[in-house]
Chains A and B, each alone.
Chain A
């Protein structure tokens, strides 16, 4: 199946908020409450920051929040910090398989 659609890049200044969208189809994002988000710093393994659309794992900052409407999921990072500069990926269950978004590079200017 095709990758979920994310913007290639977003940017923001320290303290601002940004939102990253993740658009899928009726076969994945729209049909399942199993959207997750991952943060990846250069040279590191991805880190889970949101699971099941809106939930944060223990230890993840509450500056990260997420939602879903129809076939589009969204990740919002508030109070941007320099350490948030990273690649972000969404992922959705697609019935017997999983699909990632193409990734979004976040620049904190």
Chain B
């Protein structure tokens, strides 16, 4: 069965960087896009970006460009989200989610979420 499992919670200081991993299993890793979404405490969902694990091409929201990097390692079926120059308003649960098609359709299989806390 399809599973996406994320790395554990992180506590960071403002200005630091964080790298969250998302390991996929149960399907052919390179066949489906993976999205990243975050949810600040008590707030709604915010789409951050997505990566094509086959080509490694990624796209992120303009507001995050320069601070967010999406990468993948096909040898371990894992994608990574790195956020640099962290600010307190980056405190959120970060989710990865596998798309349900090879071309982009919807976020079908979600990871359990990774809490990133940014505090001095």
Contacts and interface: CB of A to CB of B under 8 A. Distances in A.
B45 A98 contact: no
Interface stretch (B11-19, B24-32, B108-116): B108-116
B108 A103 contact: no
Interface residues of B, number: 22
A48 B100 contact: yes
Question: Chain B interface mostly helix, strand, loop or mixed?
Answer: strand
A12 interface: no
Interface residues of A, number: 24
B45 A89 contact: yes
Contacts of B71: none
Interface string A72-109: 00000000000000010101010011111111000000
7 contacts: A38-B107, A46-B110, A48-B100, A51-B105, A97-B61, A100-B37, A100-B47
- Top 3 nearest A-B pairs (CB, nearest first) are A36-B106, A51-B106, A103-B44
Interface of B: 35, 37, 44-47, 49-50, 59, 61, 95, 97, 100, 104-108, 110-113
